[in-house]
Amino acid sequence: MEYQTLKTLCGLPGVSGAEEPVRYEILKQIEGHCIYRVDPLGNILAFKKGRREPAQPMLFSAHMDEVGLIVTYIEESGLVRFAPVGGIDRRVLPGKAVKIGGIPGVIGSKAVHLKSAEEKDKAPALDALYIDIGACSREEAEEKVALGDRAVFCAHDCEMGDGFLRARALDDRLGCALLIEMLHGELEYDAHFAFTVQEETGATGAKTAAAQIGAKIGIAVETTTACDLPEVPPEKTVCALKKGPVLSFMDRGTVYDLALYRQALETAQEQGIPCQPKAGIYGGNESRSVQAAGNGARVLAVSVPCRYLHTPSCVAHRSDVEHTLALLQALNGAFGG
């Protein structure tokens, strides 16, 4: 796995509906390794020949977008009001550094000594938060930002401890990096690849991508929340780092194809690849859109376990990334025949 690619992707802004910087980088990375086109919505649709033609067309997909913020109003004071784009726990917002385009800012709220006892015990309401970009008036702020501009968290990638990776937007730049790695290598069977837009706001891109491609088997390459943390009971842990890729049998958006799920578990065991079921019915991803597009498709989700999703500091582990890549390559062979 080429981790510089992942670091580059995580450093680019790509809030839902504004994925252009991520798309341009992916196009640079896959040039010469496949045939591709960009559809009107902004999805990258790629195709790579393998050693053989599969019995059924298969699709590997990953979304380019990330959660973030969008500018909704500018106060007379120059402070910027915003709304979340995608699911963000508002408890993580106060005090965070952000960028609106190239403009730095910080998310502010009422000073703690001015809060009531009730306010101190609750996450601040969104309308109690704002972005301070250092402007002293609406006119000054409007010279720098506009309504509809997206903001992303400012965060630096790093490696921690023994193989842990920390970065913004591992959801789902990790999936994008894994697809790029597959396109750079050799495939047993021909496969379609989709780098999709607007997953965090309803999985819109995957629906149009899947409808155009018409694959019969769809594999969403994702990250999923690992709760292997203190005081979390075993039945709520969902999955854990350093135990391999996560396979879902059901989540809040999709009932996965049982035969594909079982075949993936068997393939992992046969290949000696650590693998874990997602222990719970939580979350969701673009599988639901792939499943329902066009004439429909059988779907599977293969995810890298990741702590602190949708925050400025997602954490994954190198071993899980490597084992996820190995499983995806193995599934290309297993599902192609």
Is the pLDDT at 314 greater than 60? The verdict is yes
Is the pLDDT assigned to residue 40 strictly greater than 90?
A: yes
Range 234-244 average pLDDT: 92
pLDDT (tens digit per residue) in 47-74: 999 999 999 999 999 999 999 999 999 9
Q: Range(s) for CATH 3.40.630.10 in the chain? A: 3-66+168-336
Query: Which residue type is seen at 81?
Result: R
> What SS3 class is residue 66?
strand
Residue with more model confidence, 332 or 159:
332
Residue of 145, 132, 49, 144 lying closest to 96 (CA atoms): 132
* Every domain range in the chain assigned CATH 2.40.30.40: 68-153
The H-or-E segment that residue 171 falls in is helix 170-184
CATH of domain 3-66+168-336: 3.40.630.10
Phi and psi for 259 in degrees, rounded to 5?
-65, -40
Instruction: For residue 1, name the pLDDT band (cuts at 50, 70, 90).
Output: confident
Quickly list DSSP for 284-296: --THHHHHHSTT-
- Please state, in angstroms and rounded to a whole number, the distance separating the CA atoms of residues 65 and 142: 26
Query: If pLDDT is split at 50, 70 and 90, which confidence band does 81 have?
Result: very high
The pLDDT assigned to 162 comes to 92
Task: Write the single-letter amino acid at 116.
Answer: S
Q: Which of 19, 188, 199, 222 is catalytic?
A: 199
* CATH tag, 68-153: 2.40.30.40
Q: What is the mean pLDDT of residues 292-312?
A: 94
pLDDT at 140: 97
Mean pLDDT, rounded, of the chain: 93
Write out pLDDT tens, residues 183-207: 999 999 999 999 999 999 999 999 9
- Look up the pTM and report it: 0.94
Under a CB-based contact definition with an 8 Å cutoff, are residues 194 and 59 in contact? yes
pLDDT in tens, 272-285: 999 999 998 988 99
Once rounded to an integer, what is the mean pLDDT over residues 256-262? 96
Cα atoms found within 13 Å of the Cα of residue 146, Cβ hemisphere only:
2
Nearest alpha-carbon partner for 19 in 41, 3, 48: 41
Whether residue 199 lies in the annotated active site: yes
